[in-house]
Amino acid sequence: MAASTAWRTHRNTCSPCRSGQHCETGAQLFERFARLQDAYLAEQRRKR
């Protein structure tokens, strides 16, 4: 949840990230969020 919040907070204040062209910081935050989201979804699929 923290990675999602960090990404959304950054995106709301960063023009390049709002337009879909991540700045350096935004790219790192989004990568972390995406990696954690993928791990979470993989774990949920494994539990089924």
Each residue's pLDDT tens digit, 1-24: 899 999 999 999 999 999 989 999
Q: What does the pLDDT average to over 17-43? A: 95
Confidence tier at 27 by pLDDT (50, 70, 90) = very high
DSSP state of 20: T
Q: What does the pLDDT average to over 23-41? A: 95
Predicted pLDDT at 48: 84
Token couple for 6: 């960090």
Average pLDDT score, the chain: 94
Give yes or no for a contact between 26 and 10, defined as CB atoms under 8 angstroms apart.
Answer: yes
pTM summary value: 0.83
